[in-house]
Structure 1
Amino acid sequence: MAFSVNTNIGALKAYNALVKVNAQTEKAQLRLATQKKINSVADDTSGYNVGKKLEAETLVKKAQLNNISSAKNFLSTAESALLQISDKLNQIKAKQVDASDPLKDSAAIAKDIRTLAAEISSILGNTTINGVNLLSSTSAPSFNVGGAALTFDFSTSALGVAALEAAVGTSNLQSTTDSTVLGFDTTTVADNVRTALGRIGNLSQALDSREEFLTAAIANNTASISSIFDADVAMEQLNATKGQISSQIGTAMVAQMNTAPQQILSLFR
């Protein structure tokens, strides 16, 4: 073994070991502080990229889940309006039959029917959400709720808004002529309303299915993100404690090895 004063190789090795221990200790302490095992891309490039992609997908799915809530509100409002229209059409049909009784006041019944028709017309024109008419004959809004966009076409394809508006208009059920009011056949428009309600039911079922899928997908993505980014707190605490002890020992060893060349002075006595 050679004795050298100019270069203390042992002390340098001890110093390098101490630097390594301190770096590992700092990493464990940082993970404890942030509760994450990946705090920079350098920690795990592949894991970081995969995790960020999963986070982006999860944000999109959460937005789609919010869209489902809005879509359900849309359908619920339209359903309530159509149920009222259906009930009023049933009442109109019953009153028309009632008016055939010679002992009844057909003129008074015709007035009742005009009032019901006016209410239906009001519902058609005022069933809106955020300025959008839900029972419009020209608008069929789409919602991005995951997968293929759902188009709410119950109004344009099933309801037959134009025919319904004509039925409750001044030429038919709101006509000033009692015979026209009492003789108008509501069968077709009533059937259309029921068909539209059925379409709303189908769309609601589709929304429930997609909500279930998105909820499960978000939960699975969150679990994957957690496994990639979240730190094992118990293990990192062990590493931090081990590092602190090793750092203290390493510092003491550097100090001892740094003074080792002084032993050579005994050769000059």
Structure 2
Amino acid sequence: MGFSVNTNTGAMAALQSLTETNKGLSQTQSRINTGLSVSSTKDDSASFTIAQTLRGDLGGLKSVSSSLSRAKSVVDVATAGTEQISDIVNEMKAKAYQAADDGIDSASRDAINEDFKALRDQITTIVDSSEFNGTNLLKASGGTVTALQSLKDSDGSGTWDPDSLSVANQGLDLGGSVVTVSASGEIDTQANAQAMIDTLETTQENLNTSLSTLGAASRKIDAQSEFTSKLSDVIEGGIGNLVDADLAKESAKLQALQVKQQLGVQALGIANQAPQTITSLFR
């Protein structure tokens, strides 16, 4: 190869090699800084678009989880209220048995009746208080609760119709279909006390049904929440498999590229000195 000051092929080759090394070094530093091997569609279009779709699903599952948590709170409040009402009905039944005893005098029956009315009115207080986020499953006018179960289109129509679960209103107001004790019910006489015993037995049976319904709904929500949490973890792991960088590997690569960069700079310096040897020919 002839000597030329116009064209230094050695320097050009060294420069190309150094440029490629710097490009790899920049890419490796970016991966270490972001923790991602695929941070944009320029890195890997297929992996990036799949990851973006999964990120959208992950965001949707967070909404599902939030919806289920809200429904769980509503049902838990209703369950606590129903359990308390069931305990009160048991106490009312005991009072009714006492008042139905023909061996007590009217003064004692009146005192028992006062206790009974206080317990009766407490049911209304509990029903009115069993509200969460504007929903009260114990009050007939309190509405029902509906929550997202998944992101699935439930009817497959193409128009998104979310798969959801609903918990019906139990309607535990006094004088209703569940708590059959009227708002003015008393045990002021033996006959009223005897009739009240039958009413309270019916109420107990109805409350047991409500408790079973609420308990089943709570367990279903818990199971769906647990599944949603696991599904979110799996999707998040899948996204990581697609786009996360192996930092141990990138760290080792960074050190190798830094050494190559230093050697490349030295090689370029040597190549740039080559034309200077031509001047010795003219001495």
Report the TM-score range of the alignment, normalised by the length of the smaller protein. 0.7 to 0.9
Residue 170 of structure 2 contacts residue 210 of structure 2 at CA under 8 Å; is this kept in 1?
Answer: yes
RMSD: 2.6
| Match in the other structure for 1:150 | 165
Change (3 A) 1:192 1:177: same
Question: Per the alignment, do residues 234 and 50 of structure 1 end up closer, same or farther by CA in structure 2, a change over 3 Å counting?
Answer: same
SS in 2 for 1:168: coil
The 5 A counterparts of 1:10-25 are 10-25=10-25
The one-letter amino acid of 1:62's match is: K
3-state DSSP of counterpart to 1:151: strand
Long gaps (5+) in structure 1: none
SS at match of 1:155: coil
What residue is the counterpart of 2:160 in the other structure?
A: none
Amino acid at match of 1:30: S
* Count of residue pairs brought into register by the alignment: 265
Contact 1:28–1:240 (CA<8 Å) still a contact in 2? Answer: yes
CA contact (8 A) 1:127 1:134 kept: yes
- Identify the residue that residue 260 of structure 2 maps to in structure 1: 246
Q: Which residue of 1 aligns with 2:205?
A: 191
Match of 2:30 in 1: 30
Deviation of the 1:181 alpha carbon: 5.8
* Correspondence for 1:231: 245
* Residue pair 2:180, 2:202 contacting (<8 A) in 1 also: no
Alignment of 1:6-155 (within 5 A): 6-104=6-104, 105-138=108-141, 139-146=143-150, 148-155=163-170
Q: TM-score, normalised by structure 1?
A: 0.86
Contact 2:71 2:146 (C-alpha < 8 Å) held by counterparts: no
More helix by percentage: 1
Q: Deviation at 1:45? A: 1.9
Structure with the greater relative contact order (CA < 8 A, sep ≥ 6): 1 or 2? Answer: 1
The answer as to 2:270 corresponding to 1:256 is yes
Amino acid paired to 1:40: S
* AA in 2 matched with 1:149: S
Structure 2 CA distance for partners of 1:144 and 1:174, relative to 1, 3 Å: farther
Name segments (4+ residues, structure 1) moved above 6 Å.
175-178
One of 210, 213, 226 as aligned partner of 2:227: 213
Question: Tell me, which stretches of 5 or more residues in structure 2 are unaligned?
Answer: 153-162
Cross-structure match for 2:177: 163
Instruction: Identify if the C-alpha distance between structure 1 residues 188 and 98 changes in structure 2 by more than 3 Å, giving closer, same or farther.
Output: same
Relative to structure 1, the CA distance from residue 87 to residue 124 in structure 2 (aligned partners, 3 Å threshold; closer, same or farther) is: same
How far has the Cα of 1:195 moved from its partner?
0.7
Could you say what secondary structure the match of 1:142 adopts?
A: strand
Q: Which residue of 1 aligns with 2:159?
A: none
Provide the rounded CA distance (Å) in 1 between the counterparts of 2:248 and 2:93.
74
Return the alpha-carbon distance in structure 1 between the equivalents of residues 81 and 123 of structure 2: 9
TM-score by length of 2: 0.82
Distance 2:212 2:179 in 1: 20
CA contact (8 A) 2:99 2:112 kept: yes
> How big is each residue's C-alpha offset from its partner over 1:59-96, in whole Å with a ceiling of 9 and x where there is no partner?
33233323333333222211111112112222223322
- Check the 8 A contact 2:37/2:243 in 1, yes or no: yes
| One-letter amino acid matched to 2:59 | L
In structure 2, C-alpha distance between the alignment counterparts of 1:221 and 1:256, rounded to whole Å: 53
**Cα distance in 1, alignment partners of residues 118 and 209 from structure 2:** 24
Is the 1:110–1:181 contact (alpha carbons within 8 Å) kept by the matching residues of 2?
no
Tell me, in whole angstroms, the C-alpha distance in 1 between the residues paired with 2:262 and 2:241: 33
